[in-house]
């Protein structure tokens, strides 16, 4: 009985994990396979194919930039269903180099003293 429960559990886990690796890479899938991803219909799959023919998608940021109507939330949903860009799922890609770290400019910029107030701004009595 215990073995049957373990086998059933393993089967359920394998069945649930299948969609995570069953789809594939956005740069290689044909339109029909792209449409297997919930949220990608015939029009979007055609736009994806046309855009990647110009040049393959480099990463998720490139995909989002070049696909109007696809934002980070949509990309996360696509990735959760197994869609990848160059083998990377949405959350696993390195941070975008174009996006500066928070306060990165102020952390490295030398501090300059404030300019003195003009004489006209001083109080007259």
The pLDDT tens digits of the residues spanning 87-117 come to: 999 987 555 545 544 454 545 556 677 777 7
Pairing state between β 83-84 and 24-25? parallel
Beta strands in 41-111 (DSSP E): 83-84
Q: Give the list of residues 6+ apart from residue 96 with CB closer than 8 angstroms, or none.
A: 59, 61
Domain count, the chain: 1
Q: Say how far apart CA 58 and CA 67 lie, in whole Å.
A: 13
The two tokens of residue 118 are 């003009």
pLDDT higher than 50, residue 20: no
62 is in which domain, residue-wise?
Answer: 25-91
The pLDDT tens digits of the residues spanning 73-86 come to: 999 999 999 999 99
Residue 14 lies in a domain: no
Q: Say how far apart CA 119 and CA 115 lie, in whole Å.
A: 12
Residue 60 lies in a domain: yes
Asked whether the whole model's pTM tops 0.85, one would answer: no
């Amino acid at each position: 009985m215990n073995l049957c429960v373990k086998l059933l559990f393993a089967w359920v886990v394998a069945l649930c994990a299948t969609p995570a690796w069953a789809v594939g890479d956005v740069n290689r899938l044909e339109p029909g396979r792209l449409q297997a991803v919930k949220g990608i219909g015939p029009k979007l799959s055609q736009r994806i194919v046309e855009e990647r023919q110009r040049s393959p998608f480099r990463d998720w940021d490139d995909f989002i930039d070049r696909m109007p109507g696809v934002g980070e939330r949509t990309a996360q949903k696509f990735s959760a269903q197994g869609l990848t860009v160059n083998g990377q799922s949405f959350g696993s890609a390195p941070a975008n180099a174009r996006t500066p770290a928070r306060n990165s400019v102020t952390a490295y910029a030398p501090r300059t003293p404030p300019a003195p107030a003009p004489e006209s701004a001083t109080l007259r009595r």
